[in-house]
Amino acid sequence: MSDAPARVLVAEDDPAIRKALRIILAAHDVREAGDGAEALRIFEAEGADLVLSDLQMPGMGGLELLRRVKAADDTAAFIILTGAGTVENAVQALRLAADDYLVKPFNVDEVLLACERALEHRRLVRENRGYQQHLEARVAEQAREIEGLVVDALRSLATAIDTRDDYTGGHVERVARYAAATGRELGMTGGELRALWIGALLHDVGKIGVSDAILKKPGALTEEEYAEMKRHPGIGGKVMDSSSFLRPGLPAVLHHQEHWDGTGYPSGLRGDEISLQGRIVAVVDCYDAIVTARPYRGAASEDDALAEIRACAGTQFDPAVVDAFLRAAARGFPLDPDTPVLPERSGAS
């Protein structure tokens, strides 16, 4: 047993036996109760490391007290004492997780040994749970560290993509934020929302396969140049499919240039053939492009951009996604603590 005195609660309707147990257990902090109800009140108010309870008492008996104590603290040690023990009662007590079952009259050594075993069992259970909680906390901490490393890696990749179009700094960060806010309006949560965030963040990853001459061209693209630009969703899809971590965001990358009416690319999908991720990113990507200044035009106002998005509902965009996007915009695209968010860079809205 521990050197510190244990808190022991004796529930016994015979005052002589209570006195004897107090003497036997004098090394510990002993509380007494004359019946089960009184013992339960003491336990609920003060707690106890070990309860010794008579089996048969007026009102609440020992088995009911055992049930109540274990419900409140399943690590509490509990020993049943009885002068009229039966096999059935002993089995029931053990099923309720009693540590021992002593038949009266008992001797001092028997009581001390039973108490020592019960308290040691409680100590080991609590110690094991402490180790488990510590381990779980450490695993959670390591998971957060890994998450941080992954988010940092995504940050670096997103920044690399962004710098390909040096006049749209912060574009992918804003698109990821707008997409997450829109997804929440559509009821997306947890892993589904995180997959959308990853896909939105990396929606333009395929531009790594498009030449700078085309990406940075200030004027309109030729037919051949536009054909090369249209390859970027497919290139991005291959990048996303190469990683089990990135793969959940693949639909956004592959479908963000598809149109609700089937006039988009790369596959000419229409309606619900387009993934929800792709339909969301199509809207938020277009919105950010409209409100961002380009070499060949100035930035439109937010009101004008929202009006244009509304006008394209049912043709370029899924009307339900447009409605969700407009709700998210009205709320200011609120951040969500469960969705990683990249820090805004200077000039990002």
Cβ neighbours, 10 Å, residue 149? 10
Residue 79: Cβ-neighbour burial (10 angstroms; 0-12, 13-18, 19+):
buried
Measured distance CA(104)–CA(249) in Å, rounded: 69
Percent of the chain with pLDDT over 70: 89
- Is pLDDT above 70 for 103? yes
Q: How confident is the model at residue 132 (pLDDT cuts 50, 70, 90)?
A: confident
Residue 317 per-residue DSSP state = B
Over residues 318-343, the mean pLDDT reads 81
Q: Among 105-119, 143-157, 237-251, 293-307, whose mean pLDDT is lowest?
A: 143-157
Residue 71 pLDDT greater than 80, yes or no: yes
For 125-129, 292-296, 310-314, which range has the lowest pLDDT when averaged over its residues? 292-296
Enter the pTM of the model: 0.59
Residue 339: the pLDDT is 57
Residue 343: per-residue pLDDT: 37
What's the average model confidence in pLDDT over 36-45?
94
Q: Is the pLDDT of residue 168 over 80?
A: no
Kindly give, in sequence order, each residue whose CB lies less than 8 Å from that of residue 297, ignoring residues fewer than 6 positions away.
Answer: none
* Domains defined along the chain, listed by start: 7-134 (3.40.50.2300), 165-330 (1.10.3210.10)
Question: In degrees to the nearest 10, what's the CA dihedral of 222, 223, 225, 227?
Answer: 160
pLDDT tens figures, 135-161: 888 887 887 777 677 777 776 777 777
- Mean of pLDDT over the chain: 86
Looking at residue 345, what is its pLDDT?
35
Q: Quote the pLDDT of residue 106.
A: 83
**pLDDT value for 191:** 87
**Which pLDDT does position 327 carry in this prediction?**
97
CA distance 25 to 111: 9
pLDDT digits (tens, 9 = 90+) for 171-228: 888 999 999 999 999 999 888 998 999 999 999 888 888 888 887 777 788 899 889 8
Q: CA-to-CA distance for 43 and 247, rounded, in angstroms?
A: 54
Using CA atoms, how far apart are residues 33 and 274, in angstroms rounded to an integer?
71
> CB count, 10 Å around CB of 234?
15
Q: Which residue has the higher pLDDT, 135 or 11?
A: 11
Predicted confidence at residue 265, as pLDDT, reads 94
